[in-house]
Structure 1
Amino acid sequence: MAQNWAGTYEYRAPRIEVAETIDDVRRLVAAGGRVHALGTRHSFTDLPDTDGTLIDVTRIDPAFALDAEAGTVTVGAGTRYGELALWLEERGWALRNMGSLPHINVGGAIATGTHGSGDRNGVLSGAVTALRYVGADGDLHEVRRGDPDFAAFVVGLGAYGITVSVTLEIQPTFRVRQDIYTGITWDAALADYDELTSAGYSVSVFSLWEPDTIGHVWVKTRLDADDDPVSDTLLDGVRQLGDESPLSGMTNVTELAGVPGPWLLRLPHFRLDMQPSFGDEIQSEYFVDRRDAAAALSAVRELADRIRPHLIVTELRTAAADELWLSPAYQRDVAIIHFTWHNHPDEVAALLPGIEEALAPFRARPHWGKAHRFDRAAMERVHPRLADARAVFEGLDPDGRFVNDHLVRVGVREPR
């Protein structure tokens, strides 16, 4: 049976068809029945599943198209971010940011509001200026920034069609170094969380929820020159000379220890040419207003003894606000609390309600593609434009061709 990349979710769809061209997608949609897009399989739930046909778009030609004057690139939605990054770097261009895994496909990452880190960096979806999708009628459609309801389409969860290509903002290439800071106490971090997360272009904290120190802080510094200085201290912690961290010993991690390199080999945590992350894992993630970061982290710390036995690692990140209706960063700068769990499905399922209850006062939004327990009512409490987005999707797909159980459960589509 087909599974997600980590092997922790098994697709129930009776058919998986691999599209080689956009015309293949149109043909499969026009054939009738329920359909849904399938990318590089990085979701941890039934979000991309269907009781009809899954259409794998990862084999469609990337058809890279650079518009240097506009500062954009157009690429097939099934293309992995790392492949796009290599193509751009060869031509002197870059994306503003990348997720921790360069293995994820562009369309799927955008549709779920996936992100990297950085106080001033939005989620990856914010770079979209246009997208093309096959709708319920089997025809190819295009929407562009400024069009009516564009803000509903981008983080669209596959709820209205199958995205086949996207246009993204780009910028000239740049270089980055990664340094690790250790010894930062929870007291210091929570007293000035903004200073911690603003220490670099992109900052990630890898935590095991130990009682005293917050963990290992990876600071990714955007460089004007390779010999730009970096601070030897951060809050009450110090910069390491080596690369020891919760990910140390893993050969699939991008280069640390302050070695300058191109953006595409530093912004992701993992190397494109190797298996990402840990594998055999479950992931959960929640987004809170950055102003509530210290209080939200303090609330989760109360559960640390229950969390730790089932946790591989937590990663704490940030992202800037946007105007995309179903984005986890819609109209608020966010602090992000991520959990990579051991493959303990029953124990993780039992933990999530407690974590979500602890985060409820902060109107936490879950990552759309990761394990959570939110239903329609809970989503409506934290996503103020959910009903508006649902109305757009229902209008585009009145017969429910792209409806699945997950989208109904979280209120993105109406039941059929």
Structure 2
Amino acid sequence: MRNWAGNLTYASTNLRRPASLAELADALAGSGPVRALGSRHSFNDVADTTGVHVQVDQLDDGRPAVDLDPATGVVSVNAGLRYGEVSRALEAQGRALGNLASLPHISVAGAVATATHGSGDANRCLAGDVVGLEMMTTAGELRRVTRADHPDVFGGTVVSLGALGVVTRVELATAPTFAVRQDVALDVPWDAVLGSLDAVTGAAYSVSLFTSWDEPAVRQVWFKSRVDDGVGVRPEPVAGLAWATTEVHPLPGVDPAACTPQLGAAGPWNERLSHFRLEFTPSAGEELQSEYLLPRASAVAAIEAVRALGPRVAPLLQTSEIRTVAADDHWLSPFDEDSVALHFTWHPRGAEVAAVLPLLEEALLPLGARPHWGKLFAVDAADLGALYPRFADFRELAARFDPEGRLHGGYLRRLLR
């Protein structure tokens, strides 16, 4: 069994997809290693195990898969659902999430467990919407942990890398639905971007910049603007922007059919905040990904550092994306302050990518960079925990939930040893 990108063959001996809580308890029974598996969009072995993999995408616990409480606006969802499925169900009920990642194809539990994110100066990572979790521990005990009732440990339970148990349901705060328009500016000079970075990233609800780092201009800037009056306006944070008059794809020369609608056409939040449509597979896994998250104060220095490496980086890239993320309070979230995210979508040339990652990290780690938990990086596990002030607290929490360490597999085993 392999991950979505095909660059990793899992070490597990079996895959269980329980249809009930009783079947899940049975899958967790015994003494061997076990690990939850989501939509397999991790590019490293953070979700791996030498024992049994458990997927909850077919789990029926007797409640609706998307269960909205109209009094509180909190929705409880099956943890194995994909964000695109959840967002459609919420839009049909007039509700919305705060943000979405680039891909709507990722599972809710897997995305929040690794601090996966979208973009926007005021938008937290996807874990920021979580107000509660239900999980089954390796002892077969079903536990519910909420921000309101368990403030002392809640910060360690959401971005948990699957170290505490198999998450069965995720409770998310929602807001009234809203519309979004998407406009794409082309070939924005680097001087204009770096000289007015706050204005550019703050010009819309969500902003993404696409580049290959060796280009004289930022190839595309995607502005996703809230439309609260039924019309909305196209932002213009710097003068003289050239706007796309036909829809575009983040990768040069690729058909944009898989992308969400652009050209200023307003539509529901769930059909604009992701870059890609749920009904399309944006690639067949023919890519590798890395991402580094840095303090917002280091944004310009980090961008300039990567631009200096452009001749080494660009030949391996399909594209690269710059996003912003607001701070949250999760212990293993890299967003303990407002941040900038530098994302790299590589060609599937594993050895060459592995060789360039240390160069990127030599430039970015001194600026406060931390890698995305589910993507490719070179930082040793022994050094990564030290980058998180509450890592010792997380290690202790993991030992309380899983005292035998049965959930320790792949990168997580090396991290917690």
Deviates more, 1:357-366 or 1:368-377: 368-377
Aligned to 1:88: 90
Shift of 1:302: 1.1
User: Counterparts of 1:277 and 1:362 in 2: how far apart (Å)?
Assistant: 32
Shift of 1:381: 3.5
Deviates more, 1:336-345 or 1:378-387: 378-387
In the superposition, relative to structure 1, how do residues 382 and 235 fare at CA in structure 2: closer, same or farther (>3 Å)? farther
User: Counterparts of 1:66 and 1:99 in 2: how far apart (Å)?
Assistant: 21
The 8 Å contact of residues 203 and 235 in structure 2, kept in 1 or not, is answered as no
2:301 aligns with one of 284, 287, 295: 295
User: Counterparts of 1:128 and 1:250 in 2: how far apart (Å)?
Assistant: 32
How many aligned positions are there?
410
Unaligned runs of 5+ in 1: none
Identical residues among aligned pairs (%): 43
Q: Residue 214 of structure 1: SS of its match in structure 2?
A: strand
Shift of 1:21: 2.1
User: Counterparts of 2:272 and 2:345 in 1: how far apart (Å)?
Assistant: 21
User: Counterparts of 1:405 and 1:257 in 2: how far apart (Å)?
Assistant: 43
Deviates more, 1:203-212 or 1:226-235: 226-235
User: Counterparts of 1:276 and 1:229 in 2: how far apart (Å)?
Assistant: 28
What TM-score do the two structures reach when normalised by structure 1? 0.95
Aligned to 1:31: 30
Q: Does 1:353 align with 2:358?
A: yes
Shift of 1:8: 2.1
1:240 aligns with one of 233, 236, 244: 244
In the superposition, relative to structure 1, how do residues 190 and 278 fare at CA in structure 2: closer, same or farther (>3 Å)? farther
C-alpha RMSD of the superposition: 1.5
Deviates more, 1:203-212 or 1:345-354: 203-212
Q: Deviations over 1:263-287 (max 9, x none)?
A: 1110011110111346211100000
Q: Residue 170 of structure 2: SS of its match in structure 1?
A: strand
Matches within 5 A, 1:213-292: 213-231=217-235, 234-235=238-239, 237-247=241-251, 248-277=254-283, 279-292=285-298
Shift of 1:397: 1.2
User: Counterparts of 1:116 and 1:231 in 2: how far apart (Å)?
Assistant: 19
User: Counterparts of 1:112 and 1:301 in 2: how far apart (Å)?
Assistant: 27
Q: Does 1:111 align with 2:117?
A: no
Shift of 1:30: 1.7
Q: Residue 285 of structure 1: SS of its match in structure 2?
A: strand
Matches within 5 A, 1:376-415: 376-409=381-414, 411=415, 413-414=416-417
Which residue identity lines up with residue 319 of structure 2 in the other structure? V
Aligned to 2:99: 97
Q: Does 1:184 align with 2:188?
A: yes
User: Counterparts of 1:209 and 1:334 in 2: how far apart (Å)?
Assistant: 20
The 8 Å contact of residues 16 and 53 in structure 1, kept in 2 or not, is answered as yes
Q: Deviations over 1:274-327 (max 9, x none)?
A: 113462111000000011100011111111111111100001101100110001
User: Counterparts of 2:198 and 2:413 in 1: how far apart (Å)?
Assistant: 37
Which residue identity lines up with residue 367 of structure 2 in the other structure? F
Aligned to 2:325: 319
What TM-score do the two structures reach when normalised by structure 2? 0.95
Shift of 1:12: 1.5
User: Counterparts of 1:278 and 1:28 in 2: how far apart (Å)?
Assistant: 31
Aligned to 2:202: 198
User: Counterparts of 2:220 and 2:261 in 1: how far apart (Å)?
Assistant: 15
Shift of 1:160: 1.5
The 8 Å contact of residues 379 and 386 in structure 1, kept in 2 or not, is answered as no
Unaligned runs of 5+ in 2: none
Q: Residue 142 of structure 1: SS of its match in structure 2?
A: strand
User: Counterparts of 2:381 and 2:52 in 1: how far apart (Å)?
Assistant: 25
Aligned to 1:167: 171
Q: Deviations over 1:127-172 (max 9, x none)?
A: 1111010112111011010412110000000111110101000011
Q: Residue 168 of structure 1: SS of its match in structure 2?
A: strand
Q: Deviations over 1:52-90 (max 9, x none)?
A: 000111122462211121111000100011111111111
Shift of 1:233: 6.1
Aligned to 1:370: 375
Q: Deviations over 1:308-351 (max 9, x none)?
A: 11100001101100110001202x00000000111000000001
1:155 aligns with one of 159, 164, 188: 159
Q: Residue 129 of structure 1: SS of its match in structure 2?
A: strand
In the superposition, relative to structure 1, how do residues 276 and 32 fare at CA in structure 2: closer, same or farther (>3 Å)? farther
Deviates more, 1:127-136 or 1:183-192: 183-192
